[in-house]
Amino acid sequence: MSYLIRFGVFLVTAFLFPQAWAQNNEGPLVELGEKMSNYGIQPHVQFSSLSMKNLDTGPRHNSFGNSGDLYLGADVDLATLAGLDGAAFHFEETLFILDNGTGQPTSHNWQGAAGTYFAGAPLHNDIAANQLSLMTFEQKWLDGQLDLHMGRTNARRYFYIYNCETVVTCTDPILDASSGVLPPPFGAWGGYLKYQVNPSLYVHAGAFESNPVDYLKKRKGLDFSTDDASGTSFLVGIGSKPSDDNTQYELNAYFNSSKQSDPLTGTSDHGTAGAFFKFRQTLWRADGQGLQMFGSVSAAADSKQPFSHFAEGGLTYLAPFDRPQDKLNFKTSYMRVNPHQLEFQQRERITNFGDPRLGDKNIYALEANGHFALSHNLAVEPSIQYLINPDNYYNPGARELSSNGFVVGLQVMLDVGSMLGL
């Protein structure tokens, strides 16, 4: 209890007196950081920890989950280091630490306790000790207009706008379930090409290995063969990003060549497709403050997929309380479950002598969250969701239909590298 009191005092002090947390460019490794910078090497060390608490929804009320990740990486300017104009090398290794309730199968862990996608998805199932997340070569031509990335990477580093302004619940059920792309930090072979048509308009395309077996067998991203690959995810898109960093629009389409299986009938064939549109738009800015609108619309074309449609919309208040790094958000989300997924869950419940009702195909979430900079290097993102008509996507064998209820979360992010002077 004394620890909680001290931590609470720290949060209040940081919130009320932000000037006390002025940027400090010093650190025990600042000289090393300067030497590495002279060679074109920019290291980064980031720590994040997400805690989730299921208050009164899902198959297991009052359940708790936590995922802590340490990201170790570097961006190397090969023009400075080796005289290769427009070239760079990117590397990142992720260490999974402080995990609680993550793992497979999902039904026995946090996601299964929460049941529905909206509650379960933010906490990723990190089942290995570490993961090679990024190892790519980048080459730019035409004064940076044409940009190529190749190597071990993840499609969402390039195609996914994190328009929700917080990390905690910026998720998309269509992409997660149907595109064949695992969520970051899991990487696979891929290539990405972007062309900046003009200062605000760009087009891009990419092809990425779909290999969930690499994750399930805990190979840590170190098996570079493609023997177990299930297929390839192809993505194309067009976007607009004017000079205002808080405004961006992007429309993308995907085709996943992997085999798709119907959860109810067991029939399968190869290939599925879909599209997703995401945007954020600044409505006004004045004296550092502002109001921003954001939203998403996604659809899967294949009825074998668990979800057919997803939409969300929200507002972000920038720099509340005269704190330029902070944000307050409110959003609403909607997801439609495909009929065969609902019938599959119903069959699993009946098999376990549970509730024979079908459940609702329309699922909603109301959410409030925020980003609060407690110092130059430390930020927290609390969230609270209220779920309406939740399904049991992550725990189809649960005997009861999940009730409406609340889920809370807290993301802590610490820039360790900056603190060290790197």
Tens of each residue's pLDDT in the chain, 422 residues = 433 344 344 444 444 444 444 445 678 888 898 999 999 999 999 999 999 999 999 999 999 999 999 999 999 999 999 999 999 999 999 999 988 988 888 888 999 999 999 999 988 878 888 999 999 999 999 999 999 999 999 999 999 888 877 777 788 999 999 999 988 888 899 999 999 999 999 999 999 999 888 888 888 888 888 888 899 999 999 999 987 777 899 999 999 999 999 999 999 999 999 999 999 999 998 888 999 999 999 999 999 999 999 999 999 999 998 899 999 999 999 999 999 999 999 999 999 999 999 999 999 999 999 999 999 899 999 999 999 999 999 999 999 999 999 999 999 999 999 999 88
29-420 CATH fold: Porin (2.40.160)
* Cβ pair 10, 17 in contact under 8 A: no
What pairs with residue 389 in β-bridges? none
Separation of first and last alpha carbons in the chain = 35
Whether a cis peptide bond, with omega within 30° of 0, leads into 105 is yes
* Cα–Cα distance for residue pair 266/259, rounded to 1 Å: 12
Residues 110 and 394: their CA atoms lie apart, in Å, by 9
DSSP SS3 for 339: helix
CA–CA separation, 182 and 394 (whole Å): 16
**Residues 10, 122, 232, 160, CA torsion sign:** negative
Q: Are 329 and 373 in contact (CB under 8 A)?
A: no
- Residue 18 — φ and ψ, nearest 5°? -65, -25
Residue type, 112: G
2 token code pair: 């004394």
For 295, the token pair is 């939203």
pLDDT value of residue 9:
40
Q: What is the pLDDT of residue 227?
A: 86
Phi, psi of 325 (to 5 degrees): -95, -5
Counting other chains too, the contacts that 246-250 makes at CB distance below 8 Å and 24 or more residues apart are: 246/280, 246/282, 246/285, 246/290, 246/292, 246/318, 247/280, 247/281, 247/282, 248/161, 248/163, 248/279, 248/280, 249/277, 249/278, 249/279, 249/281, 250/159, 250/161, 250/277, 250/278, 250/279
In the prediction, which pLDDT does 24 show?
52
E strand or H helix at 237, and its extent? strand 231-240
The predicted pLDDT at position 18 comes to: 46
pTM over 0.85: yes
